[in-house]
Structure 1
């Protein structure tokens, strides 16, 4: 008889404890701090806000107060959290912007470690809590966050910076709730994600395996995907933080093959800080929606199957997002070594968006998908180009 996953996890953790590899005392200090602790350590104690969405979710939003008249909203990527903008300390994007005097706001999408709350649903016991995808983040989360920020600051609009799926949700917003286009004076899209027609292996292999992955997830009844309290989430945080072994197995074996190899920008000791914060959790339905985009080669709403689609959308096929409605000014930042956001796919997005005001192919040829937020010297090869856009749309 096979042992249960929880038993294997227990045995694994006991073994690791025995060899003394997971003591928090051995971890870098920043690995043990949350967003409040990180922002405070680097000179900007944040204000925390609860954001209530139309469909009942309660999100955590942080503000690093500044004198800038136009607030800047940072939206994290897939499986990530507000922590990601703070992990590099004084050279992280959030702290860099705050040090310059900008009014910086850090979002947390539904389902991650800081936004596991709902008016009526318990994420630990109610599967209905996890019935969401990036569509809901764009349709419900962003409007609630944007409205709160504009109400608090009395600003007419804000600057948005999104990483990966953190900019995908703005395309959903502009398409499905076009009245919000005017509330964003520019959206800086780092590692743009909308189309995944041209990804290479191993991600293309994962996309091609979508039917198998979908069936497996549904059969096993997995709802909370890579959350802090899940078996696999605990395993990742624990095993990948082991010195040398964790970097070899997790960084070289998983992260770099998927995101693109750029070893000098994600050094082993810092990786232990990263892996203590990432992944931060999402829904398995969200994971499947992203795979659908690549598998179906269409940037569209979630495909429930023709029968359910007919009930929900009044069509056997899910509606395609109308990118021609996304009229907010958008700056696209692409990289040749990005394993998730290929240049060919960014070019498709560039042609379909009606108001691209800036485009950059990063001059660092090995810049990958994660360098935008975790890169050791990102202030050299990214920030100067971001400043071109910020100086135009959000001058201090």
Structure 2
């Protein structure tokens, strides 16, 4: 309940007049200033400031997609003078490149790989806080937000991957995806099979493809009305100022009464999370980071249809888009890059039954690692993620490089 009240607040901010918006901005500034001693410093730092604080140089790179979206994404360059393997990270829904650094040194996978002198790149998708520009549209134009995660897969990922390979001179890279970052990885390799050769190995954390067995109470309640929900939350994607305001308010609330935030996160992604209560304020200082409501709607369609398929525009829209009345399935037989999958019994958003369907439809699953007690967000925010997951990824990459 709390999260939806906050989302409605965001919509109110987005619809406010300029004068009213100034009052909200002022309130946010007052909260941010007066409670700066209470809120953890990392909650308010930019991604480059986070890196600098802990002794890592974080570069910003920019690329324009073929359909005009301007993407800013980030790199922790290798400290080695030798050519080192490239590892590319892709975040989940409502997240950004920030996600991969929040755990801090000796815990975050991006830092652990950087310590081993890998060339680390952190991707961003259109519509999040780092990617709010376009060559011909403003982010206040409704057309700017007419995309789902399929467009991220077939436009954003190729633009970033090609740029990275050109800059580094490498022929391929390792891909680490969490949640939506796994969805886009599969869709990329299925719809643009030539990218299978550019991804040396794909690590899928809490994969999302088939979603018919999802157990999240909040998602099960709202997925049947995904089109209505998309309409109600339209302002959530249309104005990053509202999202930024949400970050300020929620960071403050979760610093004062973390149990309230616990309840929302548990109901959404899984109970008995490994996330430290005091760390919630840091997370909510950086997430949500902005997205299109079509991304939510597309996932809602997967929940209802029990399929892994393209966006359903309705009978007439599907005829125009696909020349058939129902959206086609993604052909995962075309995904030939090696895949390593991490999934868990306690993940309410990535149910083991659905993951097993995914595994059966992928032709080159090298390894599956089943975890008993990780929730959906634990993969990127649990204090013991390095011991349970990240060290396995590192060992796998090192072994692959040696062979």
Q: Please, what TM-score do these two structures have when normalized by structure 2?
A: 0.88
Distance 1:269 1:184 in 2: 37
Please give the alpha-carbon distance, in whole angstroms, between the structure 2 residues aligned to 1:160 and 1:394: 14
Tell me how far apart the structure 2 counterparts of residues 168 and 74 of structure 1 sit (CA, whole Å).
Answer: 13
- The answer to whether the 8 Å contact 1:241/1:275 transfers is no
CA shift, 1:279, in A, is 0.5
Contact 2:43 2:251 (C-alpha < 8 Å) held by counterparts? no
For residue 85 of structure 1, what is the aligned residue in structure 2?
100
What is the DSSP-based 3-state SS (H/G/I as helix, E as strand, rest coil) of the residue aligned with 2:136? coil
Does 1:281 pair with 2:313? no
Give the Cα separation in 2 of the matches to 1:368 and 1:239. Answer: 21
Deviations along 1:246-283, one digit per CA (max 9) or x if unpaired, are 422222x21112211234x3222211111110110100
Counterpart selection for 2:252 from 220, 238, 241: 241
Per-residue deviation, residues 299-352 of structure 1 (Å, max 9, x unmatched): 111111110111111111112100000111110111111111111111000000
* Alpha carbons of structure 1 residues 258 and 307: separation in structure 2 relative to 1, 3 Å: same
1:113-161 per-position Cα deviation (integer Å, ceiling 9, x unaligned): 00111111100x2111000111011100111111001101111100000
Q: Distance in 2 between matches of 1:236 and 1:330?
A: 34
Q: Partners in 2 of 1:285 and 1:19 — Cα distance?
A: 32
Change (3 A) 1:19 1:133: closer
* 1:76 is the counterpart of 2:91: yes
Match of 2:265 in 1: 255
Question: Among residues 222, 230, 247, which one is paired with 1:217 in the alignment?
Answer: 230
Q: Which residue does the alignment assign to 1:194?
A: 209
* Whole-angstrom distance in 2 between the partners of 1:329 and 1:273: 34
The 8 Å contact of residues 158 and 183 in structure 1, kept in 2 or not, is answered as yes
Q: Check conservation: 1:225, 1:282, Cα contact below 8 A.
A: yes
Encode CA deviations 1:67-117: one digit per residue, 9 max, x unaligned. 352210011111000111000110111111101111000001110000111
Candidates 102, 117, 120, aligned match of 2:133: 117
Residues 88 and 343 of structure 1: is their aligned pair in 2 closer, same or farther, counting only changes over 3 Å?
same
Measure the CA separation in 2 of the matches of 1:314 and 1:162.
32
Query: What CA deviation, in whole Å up to 9, does each residue of 1:142-198 have, x standing for no partner?
Result: 111110011011111000000111111011101100011000110000111111111
Hey, what does 1:361 align to over in structure 2?
370
Unmatched runs of 5 consecutive residues or more in structure 1: none
**Gap change, CA 1:227 and 1:82, over 3 Å in 2:** farther
- Answer with 273-282 or 383-392: which moved more: 383-392
- The answer on 1:393 being equivalent to 2:403 is no
Secondary structure of the corresponding residue to residue 88 of structure 2: strand
Question: Equivalent residue of 2:189, what SS?
Answer: helix
Q: d(CA) in 2 for partners of 1:20 and 1:93?
A: 29
What secondary structure sits across from 1:360 in the alignment?
Answer: strand
Equivalenced residues, count = 385
CA distance in 2, matches of 1:224, 1:373: 23
Measured after TM superposition, the shift of residue 12 of structure 1 is 8.7
Relative distance call for 1:319 and 1:280 in structure 2 (3 A) is: same
Number of the residue aligned with 2:5: none
Matched, 1:152 2:167: yes
| Paired residues for 1:1-396 under 5 Å | 5-6=12-13, 23-66=35-78, 67=80, 69-90=84-105, 91-123=107-139, 125-206=140-221, 209-218=222-231, 220=232, 222=234, 224-225=236-237, 228-230=240-242, 234-235=245-246, 237-243=248-254, 245-251=256-262, 253-263=263-273, 265-362=274-371, 365-394=372-401
Q: Which moved more, 1:4-13 or 1:372-381?
A: 4-13
Structure 1 stretch 294-303 or stretch 24-33: which is displaced more?
24-33
CA contact 1:162–1:189 (8 Å) conserved in 2: yes
Secondary structure of the residue that 1:196 maps to in structure 2? coil
Contact 2:147 2:294 in 1 (8 A): yes
CA drift at 1:10: 8.8
| Contact 1:185 1:393 survives alignment (8 Å) | no
Q: Which runs of 5+ in 2 are unaligned?
A: 1-8
1:171–1:214 Cα change, 3 Å? same
Secondary structure of the residue aligned to 1:282 is coil
